[in-house]
C-alpha cells in the first residue's frame, strides 16, 4: 500500500488557536509524544514570530530524532534565515515557506501583482534550498486562487528546489469535489510535479476539513497536514486522529497506510487537551468520551453479543481500554497500579504512593471512581512533582447573607507551615486572597474556568486558571470533588510555575 506522510502542525497552527498558548517545555513535551505517535513531520513553530517560539523550535530540533522537524517562514529573507537558525541542529530539518496566492489576498493584503508573487516565491524557495535539502512551499488561500495560477507557482517553486508543495484551504472554503478536482488538476497540469510530494492543509470553517483532506488523498495527495484534536485557527484544522483512523478503518477503500502508532492517539489527545486547556467535546470522533460508550438498550445488546455490531473500531486500537475496571474504596494498591498500567501510566513507587493516597481519599467521597477520575488524579500528580508551595488545608465560609471567608494553610519550601485568612467578594476570591497573603507574589488573575471531569453530583471538578505577572502568563490546574479545593490547587499550581520560571531565569 502507498504510505501517507502525516505532517502534524499542532505546535504551530494548533497553537494559533485563540487561548492555546504553550510554554517552551510544554511544546517539547507534546513534540516528544508526537514522536512516539509516529508522525513523519512535526511543524514545531514559527521562529520569526517571537523569541519564545524561536527557543521552542530550537529545543525541539535538538531533542527530536525520529521525526522531521519543520519551521514555518514568511517568504522573506529574514524569516527564512531565522527558521534555519532554529532548526539547523535537527537530525532531519525542513523549512516551510508560505506566501499568499489568491487575488483576494494580493489585492487587499499584500498589494502585489501575480508576477511579483511568482518571483518572490521562486526566490525565497531558492534561498531556503541553500540551507536545507527539504523545502516545502505553500501558496496560501489556494482554494480561492485561479487553478492556472496555482499551476504556475508550483512549477516555479519546484524548479527552485521545493520538495513538497502544499495546497492550503486556508479559510475552509473548499467543497470536497472541487478540492479534489484542484488536486487532480495539479497532477495533470504541472509538468515537474513528479519531483515533489503534493500535500494538503485544510481548515474546518464549514466542518469539511477531514472530508476535503480524504478526497485530496483519494486524488493523489500523499502528505496531509493536521492537528491533534483538530485544534487551530478559528474552527480548527483537519483532525489527525480522524484522518489516520479513516485510512486504517477503511483500508479496503483507500488502500493506504501511515506510520502512526494508533494506540498512542488517546494519550496524545489527552496531553494536548490538558496543556492547552481545550476540552474535547464528548461526541468528538475517535477520542471523545462518548466515542465508545453505548446507552441505547438495543446497542448495548448488540455490543454484548458482538462488538462489531455497533463499533467499527476496537477502542484499544486508539489507546482506549475496551472495558472499564470499576474502582472503589475497597480496592487495593495492586488493583490501582494495574489499572494505571492499562491506562498507559507507569509511576515510580513514590509517585504511585501519592497517587494511591489521593485515590483512596477520592474513593471515600465517590461510590465509583472512573477512568477519567483516575486520569485527573494522575495529571495532578504529574503537575505537582516540582511544587514549591504545597496546599495543606483550605476552609471556606460563605452564604447569601455572609461575607465569604477563607482560611488557607500552606507548606513552604523549607517545610514550615504557613497559615492565613482573608475576606473576598466570593469564596474563590477569598481563597486566592488568603494564598496571596502568604506567598506575596504580585499577579493578576486573567482566566478562570471550571469543568466537570465525570458525571454525577460527586463528579471531580477541574479548574483551569491563568495568571499574569511581569507581562508573562502562567497556567494552573487543579482537581477535586470540592471546587474550592480544586480552585486553591489550581492557583498554587500557577504560582509554583511562576516561581519555577523566576528561579530558572535567575539561574
Q: What is the pLDDT along the chain (507 residues), one digit of tens a residue?
A: 699 999 999 999 999 998 888 999 999 999 999 999 999 999 999 999 999 999 999 999 999 999 999 999 999 999 999 999 999 999 999 999 999 999 999 999 989 999 999 999 999 999 999 999 999 999 999 999 999 999 999 999 999 999 999 999 999 999 999 999 999 999 999 999 999 999 999 999 999 999 999 999 999 999 999 999 999 999 999 999 999 999 999 999 999 999 999 999 999 999 999 999 899 998 999 998 788 766 555 665 676 677 788 889 998 999 987 644 446 666 667 667 766 776 667 777 877 888 888 888 877 776 667 767 777 777 666 655 466 888 999 999 998 888 999 999 999 888 899 999 999 999 999 999 999 999 998 999 888 988 876 666 667 788 888 888 888 778 788 888 888 999 999 899 889 888 877 776 776
In the chain, CATH 3.20.20.70 sits at 2-276
Beta strands in 119-222 (DSSP E): 135-140, 164-169, 197-202
What's the DSSP call for residue 255?
Answer: -
Could you tell me which CATH number the domain at 390-506 has?
A: 3.30.160.270
Look at the chain and count its residues.
507
- Cα(308)–Cα(401) distance, rounded to whole angstroms? 57
Ranges for all domains in the chain classified under CATH 3.30.160.270: 390-506
Closest C-alpha among 156, 236, 224, 213 to residue 7? 224
CB 478 within 8 A of CB 493: yes
Residue 323's pLDDT is what? 40
H-assigned helices in 411-464: 427-439
What pLDDT does residue 385 have?
Answer: 45
Residue 344's pLDDT is 63
Q: Provide the grid cell at 76.
A: 522573506
pTM, whole model, 2 decimals? Answer: 0.72
* 367 φ, ψ (degrees, to nearest 5): -70, -40
CATH architecture of 2-276: Alpha-Beta Barrel (3.20)
The three cell numbers of residue 69 are 522537524
Return the HEC string of 218-265: HCCCCEEEEEHHHCCCCCCECEHHHHHHHHHHCHHHHCEECCCCHHHH
- Are 207 and 174 in contact, with CB atoms under 8 Å apart? no
**What pLDDT is stored for residue 19 in this prediction?**
86
Q: What are phi and psi of 44, to 5 degrees?
A: -80, -20
pLDDT value of position 297: 52
Burial class of residue 437 in the structure, from the number of CB atoms within 10 Å of its CB (0-12 exposed, 13-18 middle, 19+ buried):
middle
Amino acid at each position: 500500500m502507498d504510505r501517507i506522510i502525516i505532517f502534524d502542525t499542532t505546535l504551530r497552527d494548533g497553537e494559533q488557536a485563540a487561548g492555546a498558548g504553550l510554554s517552551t517545555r510544554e511544546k517539547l513535551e507534546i513534540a516528544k509524544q508526537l514522536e512516539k505517535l509516529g508522525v513523519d513531520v512535526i511543524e514545531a513553530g514559527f521562529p520569526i514570530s517571537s523569541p519564545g517560539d524561536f527557543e521552542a523550535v530550537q529545543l525541539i530540533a535538538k531533542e527530536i530524532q525520529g521525526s522531521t522537524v519543520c519551521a514555518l517562514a514568511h517568504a522573506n529573507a529574514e524569516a527564512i534565515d531565522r527558521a534555519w537558525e532554529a532548526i539547523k541542529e535537527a537530525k532531519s530539518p525542513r523549512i516551510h515557506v508560505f506566501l499568499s496566492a489568491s487575488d483576494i489576498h494580493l489585492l487587499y493584503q499584500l498589494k502585489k501583482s501575480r508576477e511579483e508573487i511568482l518571483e518572490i516565491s521562486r526566490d525565497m524557495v531558492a534561498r531556503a534550498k541553500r540551507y536545507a535539502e527539504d523545502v516545502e512551499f505553500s501558496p496560501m488561500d489556494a482554494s480561492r486562487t485561479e487553478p492556472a495560477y496555482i499551476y504556475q507557482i508550483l512549477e516555479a517553486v519546484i524548479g527552485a528546489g521545493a520538495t513538497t508543495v502544499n495546497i492550503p484551504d486556508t479559510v475552509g472554503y473548499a467543497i470536497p469535489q472541487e478540492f479534489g478536482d484542484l488536486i487532480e488538476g495539479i497532477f495533470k497540469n504541472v509538468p515537474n510535479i513528479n519531483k515533489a510530494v503534493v500535500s494538503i492543509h485544510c481548515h474546518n470553517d464549514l466542518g469539511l476539513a477531514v472530508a476535503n483532506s480524504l478526497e485530496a488523498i483519494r486524488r493523489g495527495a500523499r502528505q496531509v497536514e493536521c492537528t491533534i484534536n483538530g485544534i487551530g485557527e478559528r474552527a480548527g484544522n483537519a483532525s489527525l486522529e480522524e484522518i489516520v483512523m479513516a485510512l486504517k478503518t477503511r483500508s479496503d477503500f483507500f488502500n493506504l497506510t501511515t506510520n502512526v502508532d494508533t494506540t498512542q492517539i488517546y494519550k496524545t489527545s489527552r496531553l494536548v487537551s490538558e496543556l492547552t486547556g481545550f476540552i474535547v467535546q464528548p461526541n468528538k470522533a475517535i477520542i471523545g468520551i462518548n466515542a465508545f460508550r453505548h446507552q441505547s438498550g438495543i446497542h448495548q445488546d448488540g455490543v454484548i453479543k458482538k462488538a462489531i455490531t455497533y463499533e467499527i473500531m476496537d477502542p484499544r486500537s486508539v489507546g482506549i481500554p475496551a472495558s472499564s475496571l470499576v474502582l472503589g474504596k475497597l480496592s487495593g494498591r495492586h488493583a490501582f497500579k494495574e489499572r494505571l498500567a492499562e491506562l498507559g501510566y507507569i509511576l515510580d513507587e513514590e509517585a504511585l504512593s501519592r497517587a494511591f493516597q489521593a485515590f483512596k481519599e477520592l474513593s471515600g467521597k465517590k461510590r465509583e471512581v472512573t477512568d477519567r477520575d483516575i486520569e485527573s488524579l494522575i495529571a495532578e500528580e504529574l503537575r505537582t512533582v516540582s511544587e514549591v508551595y504545597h496546599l495543606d488545608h483550605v476552609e471556606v465560609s460563605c452564604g447569601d447573607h455572609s461575607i465569604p471567608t477563607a482560611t488557607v494553610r500552606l507548606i513552604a519550601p523549607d517545610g514550615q507551615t504557613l497559615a492565613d485568612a482573608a475576606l473576598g467578594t466570593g469564596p474563590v476570591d477569598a481563597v486566592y486572597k488568603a494564598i496571596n497573603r502568604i506567598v506575596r507574589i504580585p499577579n493578576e488573575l486573567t482566566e478562570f474556568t471550571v469543568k466537570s471531569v465525570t458525571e454525577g453530583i460527586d463528579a471531580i471538578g477541574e479548574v483551569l486558571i491563568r495568571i499574569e505577572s511581569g507581562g508573562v502568563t502562567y497556567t494552573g490546574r487543579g482537581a477535586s470533588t470540592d471546587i474550592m479545593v480544586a480552585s486553591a490547587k489550581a492557583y498554587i499550581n500557577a504560582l509554583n510555575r511562576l516561581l519555577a520560571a523566576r528561579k530558572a531565569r535567575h539561574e
